[in-house]
Amino acid sequence: MTTLPQLDPLLPEDTPRRLASANTGSDWVFAQVSRTIGASVLLITGSIGAFLAWQSVPTFKRYGVSFLTEQQWQPEADVLGIAAVLVGTLQIATLAILIAFPLALATALYISEYAPDGLKPTLVSLVDLMAAVPSIVYGLVGVYLLMEHGGPEFALWLHQHLGWLPFFDVPTSDPSAAIWDQTRYIKSAFIASIAVAAMVLPMACAVMRQVFSQTPQGEKEAALALGSTKWGMVRTVVLPFGRGGIIGGTMLGLGRALGETIAVLLIVSPAFEIKWSITEVGTNTVSALIAGRFGEASASQLSALLTAGFVLFMITLVVNSFAAVVVNRSRSGAGTDA
């Protein structure tokens, strides 16, 4: 039986040494600059929200909750509401994400895991270049390419084969007619969503690819060494590790889609009524409404437009906050821990 050594009572008692945790030198400068930039971002964002909230007070006093439930926008009749444009905003943004998400995910996986090493830099540069293209270019592509070549025909095909769904039904058009009315299928939320999807795809793809590229190489090689196929390794290692990047990239694209202005303004035909059919002509969004009516707005209409901007600001804030919570609860790599 062993005995523990006895401490000499005459020796001073051991005390833990205190470690200095204060930043010094370049670390202190970096911490202060980062803190200043972060505080500035919060201050600017908060100032924008406060300004829009203050400008929206007269509108809510005049119209009350009906401003959020009224569909028509008729300043000459003193009838203003954003219910229709809110629905149009959510329709275009949601459909754009549904189109862009699988393409962005597949492209990011191909670049990070399947593309030859000599081709990867070119593909990365092309994706980054697509993200830098101005939105007006995508709007012109939607106007002169999608609406004139293929967009109405595809919308008609959806009406013919999926018209039993309210989203693809155009009540005022007969899809089986010998001469179909093409004007009923242009300038719709469907065509605008395709253009917006092309805009948000490179942004979401860039975020996903960057996270996928940080997957620990040792875990990938371990999965392959245990007999996993390439797709099995991607499914069990890369995708769980990049869960946070997938969610973050998707929410970043959704935020861009919610606030897209020029491309939607060029494509859609403004209509102030709730349309559940995404292939029918006529819709509008909050940002397109502000851009289209801002130049000719009176004082009261300007306040209403700023109120619409405040509502969109709050929607975007809620979406980004929800995304941050989800990303924090599913950080990249959490699914690959042993």
Residue 32's pLDDT is 87
- How many Å apart are CA 163 and CA 144, to the nearest integer? 26
Q: How many CB atoms lie within 10 A of CB 75?
A: 14
Q: Is the residue at 20 inside a domain?
A: no
Q: Is the residue at 38 inside a domain?
A: no
DSSP 187: S
**pTM, rounded to two decimals:** 0.83
Q: Is the residue at 24 inside a domain?
A: no
Average pLDDT over residues 173-195: 81
pLDDT higher at 87 or 19:
87
Q: Is the residue at 34 inside a domain?
A: no
pLDDT at 45 over 70: yes
Residue 9's pLDDT is 58
Distances (CA, A) of 205 to 111, 210, 252, 308, 329: 10, 8, 10, 30, 21
Q: Is the residue at 42 inside a domain?
A: no
Task: Provide the domain count of the chain.
Answer: 1
CB 190 within 8 A of CB 279: yes
Mean pLDDT rounded to a whole number for the chain:
85
Burial of residue 320, with CB atoms counted within 10 A of its CB: 0-12 exposed, 13-18 middle, 19 or more buried: middle
Residue 330's pLDDT is 61
Q: Which of 153, 229, 20, 226 is nearest to 145 (CA)?
A: 153
Q: Which of 137, 134, 116, 336 is nearest to 240 (CA)?
A: 336
Q: Is the residue at 312 inside a domain?
A: yes
Residue 78's pLDDT is 85
Q: Is the residue at 69 inside a domain?
A: yes
Q: Is the residue at 43 inside a domain?
A: no
Average pLDDT over residues 248-267: 88
pLDDT at 19 over 70: no
CB 285 within 8 A of CB 73: no
Q: Band of the pLDDT at 194, cuts 50, 70, 90?
A: very high
Q: Which of 237, 234, 285, 239 is nearest to 262 (CA)?
A: 285
Residue 6's pLDDT is 58
CATH assignment at residue 329: 1.10.3720.10
> Percentage helix, strand, coil, to 5, in the chain?
65, 0, 30
Residues 6+ apart with CB under 8 A from 298: 75
- Domain of 214? 58-336
pLDDT at 197 over 50: yes
Angle (CA) 199 99 238, round 5°:
90
* pLDDT tens-digit map of 290-316: 988 888 888 888 899 999 999 999 998
φ, ψ of residue 116 in degrees (nearest 5): -60, 150
Q: Band of the pLDDT at 228, cuts 50, 70, 90?
A: confident
Strand 79-80 and strand 73-74: the pairing is antiparallel
Place of tokens 């901007």: 309
- How many Å apart are CA 181 and CA 193, to the nearest integer? 21
* pLDDT tens-digit map of 5-17: 555 555 556 667 6
- How many Å apart are CA 225 and CA 293, to the nearest integer? 62
CA 232 to chain centre: 29
Q: How many CB atoms lie within 10 A of CB 65?
A: 8
Torsion sign over Cα 156, 261, 271, 88: positive
* pLDDT tens-digit map of 128-163: 898 888 889 998 988 888 888 777 888 888 888 888
* pLDDT tens-digit map of 72-112: 888 888 888 899 999 999 999 999 999 999 999 999 999 99
